[in-house]
Amino acid sequence: MREYDIVVVGGGPAGCMAAKYAAKAGASTLIIEENSAIGEPVQCAGLISKRAIEESELKNIGSFVNCELKGAIVHSQSHELRIEVPSPEKSAFAIRRDIFDKELAKAAMDGGAELILNSKVKHVKKGGERDGAKLTILAAATTSAGVNLEENEIKANVVIGADGWRSGIARMAGVGEGLTVTKNFLNCVQIEGQYEIHEPVADIFVGKTIAPGFFAWVIPIDETTARIGLCIDKRFSPHPNPLPFLKRILSGHPIIAAKYKGTQSKFTAGAIPIPIERQKTVKAGDGTGILLVGDAAAQVKPVTGGGVYYGMKCGKIAGEAAARACRERNMELLNGYEKRWQEEIGAEMAFGLKIHRLRCVFSDKDFDRMCQALSKYDMIQRITNRGDMDYPSFVFRELLKNPGIIMLMAKNIIKYLYAERKIR
């Protein structure tokens, strides 16, 4: 039987960063990863900011960066809005997420954390009197087909759930017993394929008929290949499956279908959690504690769906808080994690939810009017200067001062209030 101060369940960016910072602080730390390799399968569009790369603390960025993007073009039904990157500090990068995640895991192990692959956590429960203040984690080694080979009991003071949007740790900890997590998700699908690329920019396609409740994207990863995908919010969609929407734009969208060459090298599908207000991501007491981080805690940007930067930032906080609680034998210190991550990104997430609700009720004509209103020179300058993919509220607060956008909001206020009740 193995014993650790901290067990991290999930070897993605949030989990690896939590493990790295816990081990750096002197805590014995183990990462348990369900899959046979870190970073696989990939369930991400693979677009991150320069700030996120800096947050990763990785040096050999050439190993995972596909290309640097110079801006974005937002397409509505009849208009387009071009946004240039104002400076290298605000660049975005298309990356290989599998390699990126592997590098993060290596950094965590270099920092002192241990790693077990191909092992699924079956349960987490409080140990008996002879176990002392420990949680017992039952992890089953599995084959690629999911067949159990053997089971191991592992004991720890703190478990950090970094196991994604379907977090088993959240479920095992007992939602409603100290933890509150979302039940709402964006459903996503993406392919990689040959595509006619003229410049290194991301194309964003908005509209209720394109991707209800979210948007579609084309992200170049080299001179001839792109990732093409979309997400939908099924609560505002006539169909709960995003695949028919993807097939429709690949075959019939006037821009995408004309540039897509019909080949497909990779297919991915997944989900992105939609944050809720007053989330609780800590359960502490009786000498043990459970934390949620990353997608398991819905620490994502509601406007763009990105979670890598937030996950790493919150992972660092979680690792430090867990190590301190173990070192001082005071699990109440885990509550500092909740406070710190909320201070870092809570307001940004709350504002992003408001933008998401507005997007969900916009019609195709509303998106046209929005792009038209924002195409004015002064608004383009504001977007360019204030735009920040990690903190999109900066630019949206500026845009909400625009008379055209104010009129759109007033026009949709009843639908927005209905959506607010529906989304909670």
The terminus-to-terminus CA distance of the chain in angstroms comes to 43
Provide the percentage of residues in the chain whose pLDDT is more than 70. 86
By CB neighbour count within 10 A (0-12 exposed, 13-18 middle, 19+ buried), where does 59 fall? Answer: exposed
Q: In what order do the strands lie in the sheet with 185-194?
A: 80-84, 71-75, 202-206, 215-220, 225-232, 185-194, 266-273
* pLDDT band at residue 30 using 50, 70 and 90 as cut-offs: very high
pLDDT (tens digit, 9 = 90+) per residue, 79-133?
998 888 877 777 899 999 999 999 999 999 999 999 999 999 999 988 755 555 6
Under CATH, to which class is 2-43+98-183+276-350 assigned? Answer: alpha beta
As beta bridge partners, residue 195 has 260
The first and second tokens of residue 360, run together, are 């969900």
Which region among 3-17, 139-153, 198-212, 304-318 has the lowest average model confidence (pLDDT)?
Answer: 139-153
pLDDT of the residue at 128 = 59
> Residue 145: pLDDT above 70?
no
* pLDDT band at residue 385 using 50, 70 and 90 as cut-offs: low
pLDDT of the residue at 155 = 95
Residue extents of the structural domains in the chain:
2-43+98-183+276-350, 68-88+184-273, 352-423
> Residue 191: pLDDT above 70?
yes
> Residue 24: pLDDT above 80?
yes
> Residue 419: pLDDT above 70?
no
Pick from 50, 28, 160, 42: which is nearest to 101 by CA? 42
* Alpha carbon distances (Å) from 63 to 35, 48, 102, 110: 22, 15, 11, 18
| CB-based contacts of 158, cutoff 8 Å, min separation 6 | 5, 6, 7, 135, 288, 289, 290, 291, 322, 325, 326, 331, 334
By CB neighbour count within 10 A (0-12 exposed, 13-18 middle, 19+ buried), where does 292 fall? Answer: buried
Provide the percentage of residues in the chain whose pLDDT is more than 90. 66
Distance separating alpha carbons of residues 317 and 340, to the nearest angstrom? 7
Distance separating alpha carbons of residues 20 and 24, to the nearest angstrom? 6
H or E segment to which residue 90 belongs: none
* pLDDT band at residue 1 using 50, 70 and 90 as cut-offs: confident
Pick from 191, 59, 61, 40: which is nearest to 118 by CA? 40
The residue type found at 410 is: A
pLDDT of the residue at 334 = 97
Distance separating alpha carbons of residues 274 and 395, to the nearest angstrom? 21
142 C-beta neighbours (distance < 10 Å), count? 17
The three-state (H, E, C) secondary structure of 350-410, written as one string: HHHHHHHHHHHHCCHHHHHHHHHHHCCHHHHHHHHHHCCCCCCHHHHHHHCCCHHHHHHHH
pLDDT of the residue at 329 = 94
Distance separating alpha carbons of residues 353 and 355, to the nearest angstrom? 5
pLDDT of the residue at 246 = 98
Confirm if 108 and 22 have CB atoms less than 8 A apart. no
Rounded to two decimals, what is the model's pTM?
Answer: 0.91
The residue type found at 111 is: G
Distance separating alpha carbons of residues 6 and 124, to the nearest angstrom? 13
Distance separating alpha carbons of residues 344 and 320, to the nearest angstrom? 15
Coil, strand or helix at 174: coil
15 C-beta neighbours (distance < 10 Å), count? 34
Under CATH, to which class is 68-88+184-273 assigned? Answer: alpha beta
Distance separating alpha carbons of residues 277 and 271, to the nearest angstrom? 19
The first and second tokens of residue 38, run together, are 């870190």
Tell me the mean pLDDT in the region 137-164.
Answer: 82
Confirm if 200 and 68 have CB atoms less than 8 A apart. yes
By CB neighbour count within 10 A (0-12 exposed, 13-18 middle, 19+ buried), where does 277 fall? Answer: exposed
Tell me the mean pLDDT in the region 252-260.
Answer: 97
